[in-house]
């Protein structure tokens, strides 16, 4: 028994030893295995074996070098960078390792370290061209242009027949503004190697940048002749012909690229070209093929949907894009295209849902953030729009389009400092962008920066003599300066260029009244309305004109038309309400709106006016019922939500409901000072005095001369234990209007405060 156990034990030990030997490979074995996988083009498996080798032996330099090479092929550049540097440290005599480590260090901005690697190579091989070029590029990175040129000339001395060093020198000369020298150097590169496609392309790019199109074309054509399948040459020729308005000639070269590479990107580019050429059927044929491949399915189908929509086939387009979103619900491109369709159909809220989904899927996508900002801006939600455009600038600080949007939004809300700042940034990024300069001019005029506004206005007028907007802006500036004759000429010139310019028309109307010529003002708006009877902004201008001319009936009818065209136009409601109050025609007005409701039971506009008239007559119960009915029809009706919230707060009833109503109004018309005032009043009644102060301040930012706003702000300060600011607010209210509705209460409050 004892012997049997011993034999069994020996067998077990032998078995374990054999198993251990089979599981434990040496670093060299892993390295050899990696080489075999590379030979078989199995790069992922090779990378694993090389990693095992360096794990077994961290100082195995050759394995690290091969791992770096494999990671480059796999597209893992950070990993390759790391392994090249470690390999170079372990293989100080390996020139290739030093040069590749140096190249990665150069690309990573570590110019001194790159220079050290190049110097190690030169210590081994004093005439190594690659090392000398690396030193030159490192010098350029260190802002030593002259040193870089000097070092690259040494590389040329080492090998005067290497065209690549001439190209390096030419690029450095271009960076230093030495155009004549650069041209000569690029020419030398071609002379040294007449068959070099790269040299021909570099010379062509020089000619192209210099505006010498004929010479650029000649050089590009020669490059293509040298290698008809060269992708870079064919792409360059296609770009050249498209940019020089010879797009039909680009087709052959784009097809050559697609045939050579046979990749999805090149096929997509060819399809895009066909769309540009309005050959949608050809584009769809390519995209249909690409949509059958998994990796290009979503992009291809999304582009097909866009083409269908352009071809006025919205039902097909929606079906196609919805199919993509069923397969890939978080596909950002598809979500944004769907949103664009919905925006075109004025389904803004539905579009917003899609864009929010795109932002959630890709929060660092500037296109999604920009569209989000655009939608919020269209909804007059300035705060959210500013937030979204701010995100665009975080992702791309040079995005001029976002800078312009932020300038506009800040200008609209009276934040003149930021408006000027963003407009200046846009002008700096694109000095020849007329929109950027126009917005800057407007911001400067609003800021009363007369000197700069005059300079910018004259600059614009000189650059864009045929722009209606520029002439209208010039007229605005001239009228501010008191040059009424010059202003009239500018406004008239703007209307000659663009008869629909409301800014110019409004400017002339103001000048007509200043000249005591109301008939001329009326004639202007009558003529404009005959051409655009459904333009809400024009209708509002016309109503003001008729009212100022004393034609109250015409003003009333025009305001009614404005509300019919744009039911959410709070300015029109306010003007009409004031008109009826001033004429004491409230019963007649009520009857007229009730007739509209009979014909159109869901008319929010008519019901809102009835409710507002009830409020003016003191019929609060009737007004409240009317607002409640309006909100049944449209839960987001802003005027009804705002006014009902005010009535509830004033009566100290249902304050939670009142707060929700006020917030609804704020979400729909966020820039209304009346809505801010209502929100502040609800907060005040709920005892949330800090929030009330913030809301009242927002209202005063937009309407600083409203004494009632100042009074309510004073009440909030008083409840928030800030008597000094309360006193200042009450005093300002009385200063603005000693007889405003709450004047007596303001004086009583002041009497109780310490002097």
Residue 587, C-beta contacts closer than 8 angstroms, at least 6 positions apart: none
What's the CA gap between 602 and 702, in Å, rounded? Answer: 32
Provide the token pair at 216: 């650029």
Provide the token pair at 658: 């009142």
The helix-helix angle for 723-736 and 743-752 (nearest 10°) equals 150
What's the CA gap between 317 and 348, in Å, rounded? Answer: 18
Sign, Cα dihedral of 328, 334, 336, 342 = negative
pLDDT at residue 87 in the model: 92
pLDDT at residue 568 in the model: 59
Long-range contacts of 285-291 (CB under 8 A, 24+ apart): 290/264
* 375 closest CA partner among 350, 392, 357, 395: 350
CB 129 within 8 A of CB 159: yes
pTM above 0.75, yes or no: no
What's the CA gap between 30 and 50, in Å, rounded? Answer: 6
Strand, coil or helix: 489:
helix
* 100 closest CA partner among 73, 124, 131: 131
What's the CA gap between 491 and 506, in Å, rounded? Answer: 9
Residue spans of the chain under pLDDT 70: 1-24, 380, 568-571, 574, 577-578, 581, 592, 595-596, 599-600, 755
What's the CA gap between 425 and 461, in Å, rounded? Answer: 21
Provide the token pair at 731: 């005093």
CB neighbour class for 292 (10 Å; exposed up to 12, middle 13-18, buried from 19): exposed
pLDDT at residue 592 in the model: 66
What's the CA gap between 35 and 47, in Å, rounded? Answer: 10
What residue has token string 């249909």?
288
Distances (CA, A) of 200 to 59, 162, 196, 580, 607: 45, 14, 6, 78, 74
CB 438 within 8 A of CB 460: yes
* 66 closest CA partner among 97, 95, 90: 97
* 711 closest CA partner among 727, 722, 698: 727
Give the Cβ contact number of residue 188 at 10 Å: 20
CB 38 within 8 A of CB 11: no
Distances (CA, A) of 335 to 265, 299, 327, 346, 605: 21, 12, 12, 16, 34
CB 247 within 8 A of CB 277: yes
Angle at 618 between CA 614 and CA 619, to 5 degrees: 50
CB 23 within 8 A of CB 15: no
Phi-psi category of residue 347: left, alpha or beta, with phi > 0 → left and psi -120 to 50 → alpha: beta
Exposure of 426 in the CB half-sphere (CA atoms within 13 A): 25
What's the CA gap between 107 and 350, in Å, rounded? Answer: 45
pLDDT at residue 571 in the model: 66
pLDDT at residue 17 in the model: 36
């Amino acid at each position: 028994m004892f012997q049997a156990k011993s034999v069994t034990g020996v067998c077990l030990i032998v078995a374990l030893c054999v198993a251990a030997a089979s599981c434990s490979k040496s670093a060299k074995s892993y390295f050899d295995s990696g080489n075999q996988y590379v030979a078989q083009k199995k790069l992922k498996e090779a990378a694993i074996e090389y990693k095992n080798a360096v794990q077994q032996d961290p100082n195995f330099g050759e394995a690290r070098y091969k791992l770096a090479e494999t990671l480059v092929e796999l597209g893992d550049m950070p990993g390759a960078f790391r392994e090249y540097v470690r390999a170079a440290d372990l293989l100080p005599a390996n020139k290739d390792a030093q040069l590749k480590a140096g190249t990665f260090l150069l690309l990573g901005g570590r110019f001194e370290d790159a220079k050290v690697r190049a110097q190690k190579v030169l210590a081994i091989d004093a005439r190594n061209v690659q090392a000398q070029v690396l030193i030159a590029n490192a010098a350029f990175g260190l802002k030593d242009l002259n040193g870089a040129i000097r070092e690259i000339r040494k590389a040329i001395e080492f090998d005067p027949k290497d065209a690549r060093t001439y190209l390096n020198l030419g690029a450095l000369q271009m960076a230093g503004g030495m155009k004549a020298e650069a041209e000569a150097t690029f020419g030398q590169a071609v002379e040294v190697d007449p068959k070099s496609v790269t040299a021909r392309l570099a010379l062509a790019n020089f000619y192209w940048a210099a505006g010498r199109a004929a010479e650029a074309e000649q050089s590009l054509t020669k490059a293509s002749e040298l290698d008809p399948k060269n992708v870079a040459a064919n792409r360059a020729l296609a770009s050249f012909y498209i940019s020089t308005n010879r797009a039909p000639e680009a087709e052959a070269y784009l097809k050559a690229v697609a045939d050579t590479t046979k990749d999805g990107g090149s096929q997509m580019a060819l399809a895009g070209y066909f769309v540009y050429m309005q050959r949608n059927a050809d584009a769809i044929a390519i995209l249909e093929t690409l949509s059958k491949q998994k990796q290009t399915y979503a992009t291809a189908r999304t582009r097909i949907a866009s083409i269908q929509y352009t071809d006025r086939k919205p039902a097909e387009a929606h079906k196609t894009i919805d199919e993509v979103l069923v397969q890939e619900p978080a596909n950002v491109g598809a979500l944004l295209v769907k949103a664009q369709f919905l925006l075109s159909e004025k389904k803004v809220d539905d579009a917003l849902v899609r864009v929010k989904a795109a932002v959630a899927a890709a929060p660092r996508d500037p296109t999604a953030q920009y569209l989000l900002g655009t939608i919020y801006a269209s909804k007059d939600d300035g705060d959210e729009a500013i937030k979204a455009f701010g995100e665009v600038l975080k992702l791309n600080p040079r995005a001029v389009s976002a800078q312009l949007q932020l300038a506009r939004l800040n200008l609209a809300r009276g934040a003149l400092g930021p408006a000027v700042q963003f407009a200046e940034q846009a002008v700096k990024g694109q000095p020849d962008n007329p929109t950027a300069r126009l917005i800057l001019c407007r911001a400067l005029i609003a800021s009363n920066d007369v000197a700069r506004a005059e300079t910018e206005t004259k600059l614009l007028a000189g650059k864009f003599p045929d722009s209606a907007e520029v002439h209208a802006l010039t007229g605005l500036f001239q009228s501010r300066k008191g040059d009424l004759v010059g202003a009239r000429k500018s406004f008239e010139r703007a209307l000659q260029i663009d008869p629909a310019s409301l800014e110019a028309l409004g400017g002339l109307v103001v000048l007509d009244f200043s000249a005591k010529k109301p008939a001329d003002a009326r004639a202007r708006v009558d003529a404009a309305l005959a051409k655009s009877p459904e333009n809400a902004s024009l209708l509002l201008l016309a109503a003001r004109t008729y009212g100022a001319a004393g034609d109250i009936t015409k003003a009333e009818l025009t305001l009614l038309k404005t509300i019919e065209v744009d039911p959410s136009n709070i300015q029109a409601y306010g003007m009409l309400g004031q008109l009826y109050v001033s004429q004491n025609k409230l019963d007649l007005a009520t009857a007229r709106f009730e007739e509209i409701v009979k014909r159109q039971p869901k008319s929010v506009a008519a019901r809102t006016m009835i409710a507002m008239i009830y409020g003016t007559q003191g019929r609060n119960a009737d007004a409240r019922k009317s607002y409640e009915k309006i909100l049944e029809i449209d839960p987001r009706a802003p005027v009804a939500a705002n006014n009902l919230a005010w009535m509830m707060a004033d009566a100290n009833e249902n304050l939670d409901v009142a707060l929700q109503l006020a917030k609804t109004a704020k979400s729909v018309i966020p820039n209304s000072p009346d809505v801010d005032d209502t929100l502040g009043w609800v907060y005040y009644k709920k005892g949330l005095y800090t929030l009330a102060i913030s809301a009242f301040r927002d209202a005063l930012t937009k309407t600083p001369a409203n004494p009632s706003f100042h009074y309510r702000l004073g009440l909030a300060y008083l409840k928030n234990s800030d008597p000094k600011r309360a006193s200042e607010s009450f005093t300002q209210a009385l200063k603005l209007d000693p007889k405003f509705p709450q004047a007596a209460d303001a004086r009583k409050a002041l009497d109780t405060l310490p002097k």
